[in-house]
Amino acid sequence: MKTRKIEMQLRNPREARPIRIVADAAISTRGVHGGRLLPLVLLDTSERPDVAELIRAHEALGPGDHLVQWGQIDGHVGTVALFLKFIRPVELFMALEFDVVRQGILVEQTLTGQGIYIARAESNDDRWKKNPNRPSVIVEVGDTGFRTKWDGIFQEALVKDFRSRGFGRSDARRAARSAINELQKIGSLRMRDVK
């Protein structure tokens, strides 16, 4: 898969910085997005009141329109980013950046479940369980062709991480494959509808 550089047209400088993820969780709900297990990220919106407004508006107005693209931010080593351009009910651009080793499960699950929930963090030490009834927005993330690229990025990063922990080359490859297989098994779980 070939990579290419593109420049994003931003409406203001704050859109250029990835939004900090305070915490994460996973949610599976009967009748929502096919019962797939989807990651949820709590976002620090202190410098992005427009994102807080987007989440509030979605609660009142329902579904909107958006575009998604996976990629990497130039100069940010060891991360991948999900670029989101919301068209309505609020128009804005944001980037969610994920550390490949530490937060790879979030990327993996977003790709597998084809979606991600976003919600506003209420503090720097917030957790979803502190207020599971807070407004959140489900963002559909269809197939953009990133899966093949991601599989290589994730495998390579995990092998490198295992090597740094003292694993030999072949053991690190085996451990990385095993970890990814286990994540994919967990990620394929679905909440079944009650009949």
User: Does 98 map to a domain?
Assistant: yes
What's the pLDDT at 8?
65
Q: How far, in Å, CA of 90 to CA of 31, rounded?
A: 26
Q: Which domain holds residue 21?
A: 13-144
Q: Distances from the Cα of 68 to the Cαs of 48, 100, 111, 148, 180, in angstroms?
A: 19, 19, 12, 17, 24
Which position has the token pair 């694993």? 167
User: Does 157 map to a domain?
Assistant: no
User: Does 188 map to a domain?
Assistant: no
User: Does 154 map to a domain?
Assistant: no
Distance linking the first and last C-alpha atoms of the chain: 43
Nearest to 147 by CA among 101, 194, 180: 180
How much is the pTM? 0.88
Write out the two tokens for 9: 């047209």
User: Does 166 map to a domain?
Assistant: no
The pLDDT profile of the chain, 195 residues, written as one tens digit per residue, is 456 666 667 777 888 899 999 999 998 876 666 678 899 999 999 999 999 999 988 877 767 789 999 999 989 999 999 999 998 888 899 999 999 999 999 999 999 999 999 999 999 999 999 999 999 999 999 899 999 999 999 999 999 999 999 999 999 999 999 999 998 888 777 766 545
User: Does 34 map to a domain?
Assistant: yes
User: Does 162 map to a domain?
Assistant: no
Tally the domains of the chain.
1
